Structure 1
Amino acid sequence: MTLEATSPGASYGSTASGSSFYAAMRILPHDQREAMFQIYSFCRQVDDIADSDGPREERLAALQEWRNDIEALYQGNPPPRLKDYVASVKAFGLKREDFLAIVDGMEMDVPQDIRAPDMATLDLYCDRVASAVGRLSVRVFGLPEEDGIQLAYHLGRALQLTNILRDIDEDAGLGRLYLPREALLHAGITSSDPNRVIAERALPKVCLPLTQRAKAHFEKSDEIMNRNKRRAVRAPRIMSKYYHSILDLLIARGFNAPRQPVRVSKVTRIAILLRYAFI
């Protein structure tokens, strides 16, 4: 369950995707809303470091500073930029390891750009940049422990895979390729050069199995949300429906070049919000 992850990998600053996050979070009670915006702010700040064009050594050092600050927060000595997090950490039982996992995920893009990771590495990336965010979020939403962890697992991966499929061309422009190596080889694509891969006629053979994997995770997350209190899953439900709409648009458009960007219409966004925000 990522907080509006967009290209590259998991970026938290997009206006279009940010609008759906804000819509989903504004329906929450004050304390939950504040905690979610703190989580969002943290993700955005560490993501901005990972995606900056500064020297890689400086970015690695800046991410390590965030790790040090998280450690200090949980040792009872929060640095100034995390002082407001103390109340949320205590109120919702937010876990230190989930914050650190997010930093680790952002760092995966820093030593060198990710290009055609194997499936295990891609899954680890999704867990860190998306499902770890979900594990923090479900505690704020108030889901039961086991269902919350499972929802974070499935919905985080569904959203992140959707992002990857949506942002293939944009990521390639940044020198990154998140499509798994095994899928590329299965389609007969041996290159890991992003710009060469996105021009391959066999690219749909790589992408369509990933759409099915994402759909399976959406289905699992729906099962979990359906058995929990509606008010506890309003925000993740809105995020799920919005991203499922993106996935449906991608499938309908296909993955042959040239690929036009897909966008969920304003009418659809409003319909999702009206249907799920007030139940």
Structure 2
Amino acid sequence: MNRQVTSQPASFQSSASGSSFYAAMRILPREQREAMFQIYSFCRQVDDIADSDGPREQRLAALQAWRDDIDALYQGRAPARLRDYAASVQRFALRREDFLAIVDGMEMDVPADIRAPDLATLDLYCDRVASAVGRLSVRVFGLGEDDGILLAHHLGRALQLTNILRDIDEDAAIGRLYLPLEHLLRAGITSNDPQKVIREPALPKVCAPLAERARQHFVKADEVMDRNRRRVVRAPRIMSKYYRAILDLLVARGFAPPRAPVRLNKAARLAILLRYALI
């Protein structure tokens, strides 16, 4: 999440991948662009609370305050920090439950750091911190209801799983381990201590099925985008291509320790932007 470059929700990362969000949103018409950056700002602020070094009780209280403010927004009493959101909420029919799901996802790291969640918990985490962002976003992009929900489901999970695989070492440095318990046990790893797990020779056996799951989600997301108008899916297509390229680099590098950082270089990012935004 954000003390370092860790497995924060995919749609609002700050480093190299963060530029994918910025580039993808810059191509949108003004009203859509403004709505997307409002969603980004909301996610950044609640993410910063979850990842702060403050007492856990204070962080929980701060996240609850955001829930209260979201409720007030939807009751027509928008607080100052959400006043500009009212027009976007109405224009794009953004749903209260998706904003709240994002807060719930951030909160999953607050009572205790996530360590080796079971697959069901990991999927819930991905849904809240990534696919919920997608469900807000597809309404701004203008996708139909069914395909929009389906794209958010698959692309959100694809991006978040890619983040988790990329940020194993950074997450471990702050005491977090998002690799699923079932995969760890199948590889013969019984510890959930992040620092021990990242040094395990069997770690590639844990990561390989997670990479395959991410790949399958990318394929399903592509199927949805392929049957929709190109202009409507330009922004999510750019995000998808950026992150799929990162996943390919991760798989090519491998997951055995030591792991060199993986980033998509500027030329590759520019090529994706030119191909899917301008040509």
2:123 is aligned with 1:137:
no
Question: Could you tell me which residue of structure 2 aligns to residue 183 of structure 1?
Answer: 183
Question: Could you tell me which residue of structure 2 aligns to residue 239 of structure 1?
Answer: 239
Q: Which runs of 4+ in 1 moved over 3 A?
A: none
Question: Could you tell me which residue of structure 1 aligns to residue 113 of structure 2?
Answer: 113
Question: Could you tell me which residue of structure 1 aligns to residue 209 of structure 2?
Answer: 209
Question: Could you tell me which residue of structure 2 aligns to residue 275 of structure 1?
Answer: 275
- RMSD across aligned C-alpha pairs, in angstroms? 0.9
Question: Could you tell me which residue of structure 2 aligns to residue 52 of structure 1?
Answer: 52
Q: How many residues align structurally?
A: 274
State how far apart, in whole Å, the 2-side matches of 1:173 and 1:93 are: 40
Question: Could you tell me which residue of structure 2 aligns to residue 62 of structure 1?
Answer: 62
Give 2:215's aligned amino acid: K
The answer to whether the 8 Å contact 2:7/2:160 transfers is: no
The Cα offsets for residues 69-128 of structure 1, whole Å up to 9 and x where unpaired, read as 000000000000000000000000000000000000000000000000000000000000
Question: Could you tell me which residue of structure 1 aligns to residue 151 of structure 2?
Answer: 151
State how far apart, in whole Å, the 2-side matches of 1:239 and 1:188 are: 35
Question: Could you tell me which residue of structure 1 aligns to residue 165 of structure 2?
Answer: 165
What is the CA distance between 1:8 and its match in structure 2? 3.8
State how far apart, in whole Å, the 1-side matches of 2:15 and 2:8 are: 16
Question: Could you tell me which residue of structure 2 aligns to residue 32 of structure 1?
Answer: 32
The answer to whether the 8 Å contact 2:207/2:255 transfers is: yes
Larger deviation: 65-74 or 10-19? Answer: 10-19
State how far apart, in whole Å, the 1-side matches of 2:7 and 2:269 are: 23
What is the CA distance between 1:278 and its match in structure 2? 2.3
Give 2:147's aligned amino acid: D
Give 2:250's aligned amino acid: L
Question: Could you tell me which residue of structure 2 aligns to residue 93 of structure 1?
Answer: 93
Q: Which runs of 5+ in 1 are unaligned?
A: 1-5
State how far apart, in whole Å, the 2-side matches of 1:179 and 1:198 are: 10
Give 2:175's aligned amino acid: G
Question: Could you tell me which residue of structure 2 aligns to residue 80 of structure 1?
Answer: 80
The answer to whether the 8 Å contact 1:211/1:247 transfers is: yes
What is the CA distance between 1:265 and its match in structure 2? 1.1
The answer to whether the 8 Å contact 2:126/2:160 transfers is: yes
What is the CA distance between 1:20 and its match in structure 2? 1.4
Aligned partner of residue 188 in structure 2, secondary structure: coil
State how far apart, in whole Å, the 2-side matches of 1:50 and 1:166 are: 20
What is the CA distance between 1:21 and its match in structure 2? 0.9
What is the CA distance between 1:19 and its match in structure 2? 1.4
The Cα offsets for residues 192-248 of structure 1, whole Å up to 9 and x where unpaired, read as 000000000000000000000000000000000000000000000000000000000
What is the CA distance between 1:16 and its match in structure 2? 2.0
Q: Identity, % of aligned pairs?
A: 77
Q: How does 1:2-17 map to 2 (within 5 A)?
A: 7-10=6-9, 12=12, 14-17=14-17
State how far apart, in whole Å, the 1-side matches of 2:201 and 2:223 are: 36
Question: Could you tell me which residue of structure 1 aligns to residue 224 of structure 2?
Answer: 224
What is the CA distance between 1:27 and its match in structure 2? 0.2
Question: Could you tell me which residue of structure 2 aligns to residue 3 of structure 1?
Answer: none
State how far apart, in whole Å, the 2-side matches of 1:9 and 1:21 are: 13
Q: Which runs of 5+ in 2 are unaligned?
A: none
State how far apart, in whole Å, the 2-side matches of 1:255 and 1:17 are: 19
State how far apart, in whole Å, the 2-side matches of 1:19 and 1:228 are: 25
The answer to whether the 8 Å contact 1:8/1:51 transfers is: no
2:255 is aligned with 1:255:
yes
State how far apart, in whole Å, the 2-side matches of 1:99 and 1:221 are: 22
TM-score by length of 2: 0.97
State how far apart, in whole Å, the 1-side matches of 2:241 and 2:87 are: 31
What is the CA distance between 1:13 and its match in structure 2? 5.2
TM-score by length of 1: 0.97
